[in-house]
Amino acid sequence: MPGRPQAALKKAQQPNPYRTTIGPRLLWGKISGRHPETGRVDVTLDHGSIVPNCIVAPQMLGQTVGETYLPPFDPVTPDATPQGPYGLPTLPARDTDATQYVLVDWLEGSGRQPVVMGALPTLHSTIAPQTAGWKVFRHEGGYWETIDPEGNWTQTWPDGSFISVSTAGSPAHPADINPHFPPPPATTPVQFTLQTAAGAKMTLNGTTITITGATNVILNDGTQGVARLGDSVQVSGTDSAGDTFTATGTITSASTTVLSG
């Protein structure tokens, strides 16, 4: 119907019956509670109000796809005053203050629709990079991932194992730009596993590399072979008299460092 789009637009422009203030409000506060089961947090605002079960907006979510992560933190206890809990209206002045501050907004200014829009870094954050161009992610388990301004990419696990793609020949480490970045904690050594759907699997465990389920292992496009125990081989050389010779035989002693089935 020709009039329906105009009618819908007119209705959308009408005041929200739940709106308590005109326009959006952007405030900041301290995280005072965390609800991992719902991915929400409690926030004590700068003027003392407590917003419980607040939605955290910086997520990429669909009904069945997306990405989500609610980092751990130590919730603060709101300061008690005669007027009720209070969230100190000044940002931290000391490097040692690790209180987590967030920005809170309200959809259409409605007091019923608070949303955490983002977090403010502390003055002495061990994760925030100190140089532009660095991207750093650190998990509470001690795993971290970083990309430096040149595009060098590194993944490191708590035991010190790492994967690096670098033009410099060495892994990019966030401690290069933030000396306070915590080192990986001592932990059980990790094992790397690469497996295809067809069943070929390669594992790296300590100093041992194991390949199973592979019907072919091809080196240099198949132009070079690998001799194994029991294989027939041909050897050419020069004897002590200076004469050349060619001999055919069977390998009877296997390598102790390269083993094959």
Task: Tell me, yes or no, whether 70 lies in a domain.
Answer: yes
What is the number of other CB atoms lying within 10 angstroms of the CB of residue 159?
14
Highest mean pLDDT (candidates 54-63, 117-126, 191-200, 235-244): 191-200
Q: 180: Cβ–Cβ under 8 A, 6 or more apart, which residues? A: 124, 126
Measured in residues, the chain has a length of 261
CA distance 136 to 144: 7
Highest mean pLDDT (candidates 95-104, 168-177, 191-200, 206-215): 191-200
What average pLDDT does this structure show over 252-261?
A: 68
Task: Tell me, yes or no, whether 80 lies in a domain.
Answer: yes
Domain count, the chain: 1
Task: Tell me, yes or no, whether 95 lies in a domain.
Answer: yes
pLDDT of residue 123: 66
CA distance 38 to 190: 31
Task: Tell me, yes or no, whether 242 lies in a domain.
Answer: no
The two tokens of residue 38 are 């719902």
What average pLDDT does this structure show over 120-131?
A: 70
**Cβ–Cβ < 8 Å for 201, 194:** yes
Range of the domain at 78: 4-120
CA distance 261 to 229: 9
CA distance 26 to 106: 7
Q: Above pLDDT 90, what percent of the chain?
A: 10
pLDDT of residue 18: 45
pLDDT of residue 130: 66
pLDDT of residue 48: 67
pLDDT band at 192 (very low <50, low <70, confident <90, very high): very high
**Cβ–Cβ < 8 Å for 48, 86:** yes
Window from 114-123, 154-163, 206-215 with minimum mean pLDDT: 114-123
CA torsion angle 140 118 124 183 (round to 10)? 20
**Cβ–Cβ < 8 Å for 39, 53:** no
pLDDT of residue 73: 74
Pairwise pLDDT comparison (98 vs 189), residue with the higher score = 189
pLDDT of residue 216: 83
Instruction: Please state the φ and ψ torsions of residue 9, each to the nearest 5 degrees.
Output: -65, -40
Helical segments of the chain, H only: 4-12
Q: What is the CATH number of the domain that holds 89?
A: 2.40.50
Window from 36-40, 68-72, 87-91, 137-141 with minimum mean pLDDT: 87-91
Query: Would you call 236 exposed, middle or buried from its count of C-beta atoms within 10 A (0-12, 13-18, 19+)?
Result: exposed
pLDDT of residue 195: 96
Task: Tell me, yes or no, whether 91 lies in a domain.
Answer: yes
Task: Tell me, yes or no, whether 66 lies in a domain.
Answer: yes
**Cβ–Cβ < 8 Å for 115, 104:** yes
Task: Tell me, yes or no, whether 243 lies in a domain.
Answer: no
pLDDT of residue 188: 85
Residue 135 has pLDDT above 80, yes or no: yes
196-247, pLDDT tens digit by residue? 999 999 999 998 999 999 888 887 787 777 777 788 888 888 888 888 888 8
pLDDT band at 97 (very low <50, low <70, confident <90, very high): low
What average pLDDT does this structure show over 38-67?
A: 81
What average pLDDT does this structure show over 31-43?
A: 85
Rounded to the nearest integer, the mean pLDDT of the chain is 77
Pairwise pLDDT comparison (232 vs 173), residue with the higher score = 232
